[in-house]
Amino acid sequence: MMTTSRKNDPLEPAGPDCDVVTVPARQGLEAVDILRRGAGEAVGPVLHDGGCDTLGFLVPPGTAAAWDVPGSVCTETDGRGICLTPDRSAEGSDWLVPPGEADLATDPAVLREALGQAQRMIEAADSCS
């Protein structure tokens, strides 16, 4: 279980290393559904911001170095600012998929595929209107 430092020092790691892939909420919600329906493709913890504009998927450390999915950003956290307890999250956000209900991190290759499929679904739906 991860907790923040008592001093809340931004330079002191708060937990295990992870990276966070941030995507627009609509695409992220579609991707969560795709991942949950997939055979053996588990979704890790997912954060949403206070305004519900974006979702953040926790992914293994090192993902940011090779992340190249248009419309998304992958950020290294070095364990800072993320608290993996279901009742606590990063400041200004809340859990969509809380820790404990999910694997520790979403596989980046599986997430990349789900985000691509979600984007195609959104484009198809938007072209019908």
The confidence score (pLDDT) of residue 63 equals 93
The confidence score (pLDDT) of residue 42 equals 79
The pTM of the full predicted model, rounded to 2 decimals, is: 0.79
Chain-centre distance of CA 4, in angstroms? 19
The confidence score (pLDDT) of residue 51 equals 84
Residue listed under structure tokens 């419309």: 71
103 phi, psi to nearest 5 deg: -65, 170
Per-residue pLDDT in tens (0 to 9) along the chain, 129 residues: 333 333 343 334 445 678 999 999 999 999 999 999 886 657 899 999 888 899 999 999 999 999 999 999 999 987 665 656 555 545 567 889 888 766 678 999 999 999 999 999 999 999 986
Residue 44 is encoded by which pair of tokens? Answer: 């890790």
